Structure 1
Amino acid sequence: MADFPRGSTLHRFMASLRSFPLLVLAVWLALPVLALLAAWWPWGSQASASVAVLRDMTTTVLPGYVGTTAWLALWVGIGAAVVGTATAATVTLFEFPGRRQWEWLLLLPLAMPAYVTAYAYTDFLQFSGPLQVWLRESFALEGRLLPEVRSVWGAIWVFIFALYPYVYLLARTALSERAAHLMEAARLLGAPLPRRIATIALPLARPAVAAGVALVLMETLADFGVTSYFGIQTFTTGIIKAWLSLDNRLAAAQLATMLLAMVLLLLWLEHRAQQRMRFTAKGVGRAGSAEAQPVALRGASLVLAWVICAVPVLMGFFAPVAFMLRPLASDWSVLPWERFLEWAWNSVRLGGITAGLAVAVALALAFAVRRRPDALTRGVVQLASLGYAVPGAVVVVGLLLPVGWLQAAWPSLGLGAVLTTTAVGIVWAYLVRFCAVALQSVQSGYARIPPSLDDSARMLGAGSPRLLLQVHWPLLQRSTAAAALLVFVDVMKELPATMVLRPFNSDTLAVVAYQLARDERLGEAALPSLALVAVGLVPVILLSRTLRARESSSYAC
């Protein structure tokens, strides 16, 4: 390429050839998402069938899906915003005994998959659960004493206390970095505390809260475990039902594209909120934050602060864990110990394979951007990250749809059997969903490597392989380890893609927990559910340590 003038047509052509392998990789990762658009393409006999399916859904199930999904998203968004903002403001703007402990305890619900929380509350609060049985026996009552937990409002409760940490994390960062010294300046000018919170802290945290709510809503729309178990008809449950129960691929694909459009809209709103956060950070700065001190609380204000922090942690983590531990403490014989190791091994095996491949792909893409940060390479990386916020049910439909077309055209290929009887299909779906997670972590590691190291290595005659292996890799080991851990945990908790695409006789902890809970064997579902919680605690602990170290370094500055 050095023989051609930079910027010439031949130079651009040779650069595109060098990016061709990356483009193939990106298309392979984005294929399940891109294939969904074919369900709306008016060609052949598919055109009339597509219109007929859409017309039937519009008059039957679609209004219910839209209404239930919108109602669920509305109240979950409001609840998560209130809980996340209140807890973030409490631990950031005020000083009280236990504040440092509450800062990391409020992250614990991130370790609880929402569907595990749903199983726990159902086991404890249902008609035959221990709470209602105790109430009937103690007070000589009859009938149902508590509202049905398997309802839309029950799902709203579960989602709020399982997902509020997204809002809490971003709002806490915004308040600690941008509001502290402005609050201190307003105090010196005589502004009372309520006015300082209403006119300074909350407006500065608004972009962070909006970004957190967008993430909460994306998780809510992508959920299958809670809504399916509670019998709520949302887009995600409708997609799985249309594909598996009704055997209608067009209906599943069209529902999947509608859900994808909603998720992409939320992702766009989240990006806009993140940009506003960066703009606010530049405008406010961090000078003087070291001198700003939180307001000390005493008396009733101290009790209120403890209640604000304790209720979300209790409802989102400690209560579900206690409900799940009850079967282990009461009757160990009911637990499926003999099958547990098999389920755990399947989960660990799929998680390890996917984590290794995701890190390798992320390193290749991030290194390509590092070496050639042109528009073509950045576009390829963005294409590979297309599955970042795509729900597992959408990935499943997008993956099986083109495979079904190829299988119908060339039956001898046996692609359907390869994807459903081996780990190829499920690992492919995992990579589509979680490669962006690994890529984000690796790129954050690259951001800490100065470009001067690359220039020095090239001056010493190092080619691309030596540059990656001998210069970049030693400096990226912590970032790649974090990427592998995040992907591993996400794979362990993934439910809809695993349930549909897993190989025969290779159930995972997530699938087994869902199946046992669906069969009303909630006591047996406790063991795999608690195993998922234990795995989820690892990244939460690491996140808490990282945030504390970052805050300590900022105070030191």
Structure 2
Amino acid sequence: MTRSRLNPLRLASPLLVVSATVAALVGLPVLSVLANIFSGGTGATWSHLAATVLPSYVGNTLVLCLAVGLGVMAVGVATAWLTTMHSFPGRRVFEWALVLPLAMPAYVLAYVYTDFLQFVGPLQSFLRESFGWSKADYWFPEVRSLGGAVSMFIFVLYPYVYLLTRAAFLERASGMLEASRTLGLGPWRGFFRVSLPLARPAIAAGTALALMETLADYGTVSYFGVQTFTTGIYRAWFSLGDRIAAAQLAAALLLFVMLLLLIERGSRGRSRFHDTTGRHRQRAGRPLPGWLGWLASALCALPLTIGFLLPAYLLLRLALADGQARFGEHFFGMVRNSFLLAGLTAVIAVALAVLLAYGARLSRGFVARTLNRLVGLGYAVPGSVIAVGVLIPVSRLDIWLAGQWQEWFGGNPGLLITGGIAALIYAYLVRFLAVALQAVSTSLAKITTNMDDAARSLGLGQAATLRRVHLPILRSSLFTAGLLVFVDVMKELPATLVMRPFDFDTLATQAYTLASDERLAEAASASLAIVAVGLLPLIALSRQIARRRR
């Protein structure tokens, strides 16, 4: 009876109140977008969209998702299988280097390859000079097209599938494959009948992540002229000036993402994938003799070269050309703005993640776990949707605050929230708080509860236990969580374009603006800086992969 009387107090604990408040703030933009589904809006805007571009929004988005999904699965599964189950020249390098394309945002890749593959670019110029061709003598694929956008996404996002699938092969496949060979299954039959079914949840999860990143992208599809829901949101908001129509398009995109998540979850059904052999030794890898080994090396080198090595070289070459003009005072001002936004967001995100994770650890109840899962949904929402969802309620709050200020003190203070970076940081937190929460929660779960009991026996309260016991242990995990959020904010383009204050440029917005003006060489320095920052967490991740199971 005493225990039941204490449960309401536990539910009303300060940490749980904080969790509920954060979950409500994270969910507010999504609810704001969904609330506009049945709003009247401007009929003329919808009539114009339906008659002109809405069918292309739907068709291009579906084709993009289908092609990118198949592409990342093919590249990710093939490279994961080769580096896990076989031995060939360069395997030890490829197993960690294949994650490097994650440091290259898709829109940066689009800018680089447009400059490299266009008619006056280095490749076509070399071909014409070498063979004496004119424009009418040869055909060359158009990179700024739907097919070009699909290629950019595949070679940037396949590491999601590669990482999760390789982990599944390492953890589940080795012992089961040995058992299958005793039953007469060869390498190919063992792959299709044992390894691939065991890795199915990992493949589905990695593909879902890649598709959510594809749906969230604006820079690539906009630059290539591909009409999708994301570009439609910007067109309705800025070109047509109809915020309700923009919110309704954002709601349609959000429902599309939710449908994608439901399909991924439902595809598993009641299937369960367990390895009961208890054997998790690192495989030496079946040697691939002669030309087969070199073919495997070439297959692994192809996505790495297209997704990272070649564009990094091209960016560096463009940035070093006329370097003083590229790395001037304006450039360092953009670096300062980018680091300010990313640094503030990372610090706040880590602090909130610690409170949320620690609150769930103390309560160990359904409410705390549910609130943390609601916070985690923010990462699945595209930045364009979050921007629309934040601006609608925050701009109304801004107008109300300005009216109250004028009534109380006189004078018009302007836009107090949306006029600065506060609303933009709020949008970043909605989008990326889940990244910090996942990292902190995973590390906190590894700390035994016996430490909490020991601290309590020494007279330490909850706050003191967190400060003196948990935080020192979590130091490296907190740094990793902050670094991941920092890099994600540096690369984020859609929300930044919509919500940045006037005359407040970041590296991402500068790269997009210059590339849109066809000033690709000038966009190289900002793009290169984004890639360099993105390499920081990948270096740590690559070193961890290289040491794994050795």
Match of 2:460 among 459, 462, 470: 462
Output aligned runs, 1:350-499, within 5 Å.
350-407=341-398, 411-412=402-403, 417-499=415-497
Structure 1 382/141 Cα, relative in aligned 2: closer, same or farther at 3 Å? same
Alpha-carbon shift at residue 66 of structure 1 (Å): 0.6
> Which residue does 1:33 correspond to in 2?
30
| CA deviation string 1:379-416 (max 9, x = no partner) | 22223333121111001000011133445666515897
Alpha-carbon shift at residue 189 of structure 1 (Å): 4.2
3-state secondary structure, aligned to 1:247 = coil
Match of 1:111 among 87, 103, 107: 103
**C-alpha distance in 2, partners of 1:52/1:241?**
14
Deviates more, 1:385-394 or 1:488-497: 385-394
Q: Which stretches in structure 2 are left out of the alignment for 5+ residues?
A: 405-411
Deviates more, 1:126-135 or 1:62-71: 126-135
| CA deviation string 1:412-433 (max 9, x = no partner) | 1589722333110111111111
> Which residue does 1:64 correspond to in 2?
56
Output aligned runs, 1:189-200, within 5 Å.
189-200=183-194
Alpha-carbon shift at residue 245 of structure 1 (Å): 1.6
Q: Report the residue type matching 2:132 in the other structure.
A: A
Q: Report the residue type matching 1:80 in the other structure.
A: V
> Which residue does 1:126 correspond to in 2?
118
Output aligned runs, 1:495-514, within 5 Å.
495-514=493-512
Alpha-carbon shift at residue 26 of structure 1 (Å): 2.0
| CA deviation string 1:49-80 (max 9, x = no partner) | 37775565444432211100000111111111
> Which residue does 1:555 correspond to in 2?
none
**Is the CA contact 1:215–1:270 (under 8 Å) kept in the aligned structure 2?**
no
| CA deviation string 1:227-259 (max 9, x = no partner) | 111111101111111112211111110111111
**C-alpha distance in 1, partners of 2:97/2:291?**
22
Alpha-carbon shift at residue 337 of structure 1 (Å): 2.9
Output aligned runs, 1:85-484, within 5 Å.
85-143=77-135, 145-271=139-265, 279-280=272-273, 283-285=274-276, 287-290=278-281, 293-332=284-323, 334-407=325-398, 411-412=402-403, 417-484=415-482
**Is the CA contact 1:94–1:294 (under 8 Å) kept in the aligned structure 2?**
yes
| CA deviation string 1:457-498 (max 9, x = no partner) | 222221121011011111111111110000000011011111
**C-alpha distance in 1, partners of 2:169/2:18?**
44
**Is the CA contact 2:72–2:157 (under 8 Å) kept in the aligned structure 1?**
yes
Given the alignment of the two structures, is residue 16 of structure 1 paired with residue 12 of structure 2, yes or no?
yes
**Is the CA contact 1:80–1:164 (under 8 Å) kept in the aligned structure 2?**
yes
**C-alpha distance in 2, partners of 1:326/1:198?**
44
The size of the alignment, in residue pairs, is: 540
Structure 1 458/207 Cα, relative in aligned 2: closer, same or farther at 3 Å? same
Task: Provide the TM-score with structure 1 as the length reference.
Answer: 0.91
Alpha-carbon shift at residue 366 of structure 1 (Å): 0.7
Task: Provide the TM-score with structure 2 as the length reference.
Answer: 0.92
| CA deviation string 1:95-142 (max 9, x = no partner) | 122211110111110111111110100011012212122222332322
Alpha-carbon shift at residue 329 of structure 1 (Å): 4.7
Structure 1 318/274 Cα, relative in aligned 2: closer, same or farther at 3 Å? farther
**Is the CA contact 1:211–1:269 (under 8 Å) kept in the aligned structure 2?**
no
**Is the CA contact 1:407–1:415 (under 8 Å) kept in the aligned structure 2?**
no
Given the alignment of the two structures, is residue 80 of structure 1 paired with residue 51 of structure 2, yes or no?
no
**Is the CA contact 1:351–1:492 (under 8 Å) kept in the aligned structure 2?**
yes
3-state secondary structure, aligned to 1:490 = helix
**Is the CA contact 2:85–2:283 (under 8 Å) kept in the aligned structure 1?**
no
Structure 1 369/205 Cα, relative in aligned 2: closer, same or farther at 3 Å? same
Structure 1 501/292 Cα, relative in aligned 2: closer, same or farther at 3 Å? closer
Q: Report the residue type matching 1:314 in the other structure.
A: T
Deviates more, 1:395-404 or 1:407-416: 407-416
**C-alpha distance in 1, partners of 2:186/2:454?**
56
**C-alpha distance in 2, partners of 1:415/1:436?**
34
**Is the CA contact 1:112–1:162 (under 8 Å) kept in the aligned structure 2?**
yes
3-state secondary structure, aligned to 1:302 = helix
**Is the CA contact 2:402–2:416 (under 8 Å) kept in the aligned structure 1?**
no
**C-alpha distance in 1, partners of 2:127/2:514?**
27
3-state secondary structure, aligned to 1:530 = helix
Structure 1 292/189 Cα, relative in aligned 2: closer, same or farther at 3 Å? farther
Alpha-carbon shift at residue 291 of structure 1 (Å): 7.8
Q: Report the residue type matching 2:386 in the other structure.
A: V
Structure 1 301/548 Cα, relative in aligned 2: closer, same or farther at 3 Å? same
**C-alpha distance in 2, partners of 1:89/1:381?**
34
Q: Percent identity?
A: 49
> Which residue does 2:407 correspond to in 1?
none
3-state secondary structure, aligned to 2:3 = coil
Structure 1 523/406 Cα, relative in aligned 2: closer, same or farther at 3 Å? same
Output aligned runs, 1:533-544, within 5 Å.
533-544=531-542
Alpha-carbon shift at residue 23 of structure 1 (Å): 1.7
Alpha-carbon shift at residue 348 of structure 1 (Å): 1.0
3-state secondary structure, aligned to 2:191 = helix
**Is the CA contact 1:362–1:439 (under 8 Å) kept in the aligned structure 2?**
yes
> Which residue does 2:409 correspond to in 1?
none
| CA deviation string 1:337-375 (max 9, x = no partner) | 332211111111111111000001001111110111212
3-state secondary structure, aligned to 1:478 = helix
Structure 1 461/276 Cα, relative in aligned 2: closer, same or farther at 3 Å? farther
**C-alpha distance in 2, partners of 1:195/1:386?**
38
Q: Report the residue type matching 1:151 in the other structure.
A: S
> Which residue does 1:44 correspond to in 2?
none
**C-alpha distance in 2, partners of 1:127/1:472?**
58
**C-alpha distance in 2, partners of 1:421/1:51?**
30
**C-alpha distance in 1, partners of 2:196/2:316?**
39
**Is the CA contact 2:237–2:243 (under 8 Å) kept in the aligned structure 1?**
yes
**C-alpha distance in 2, partners of 1:102/1:421?**
47
3-state secondary structure, aligned to 2:428 = helix
Alpha-carbon shift at residue 194 of structure 1 (Å): 2.0
Structure 1 418/271 Cα, relative in aligned 2: closer, same or farther at 3 Å? farther
Deviates more, 1:16-25 or 1:483-492: 16-25
Q: Report the residue type matching 1:146 in the other structure.
A: F
> Which residue does 1:6 correspond to in 2?
3
Match of 2:518 among 512, 520, 543: 520
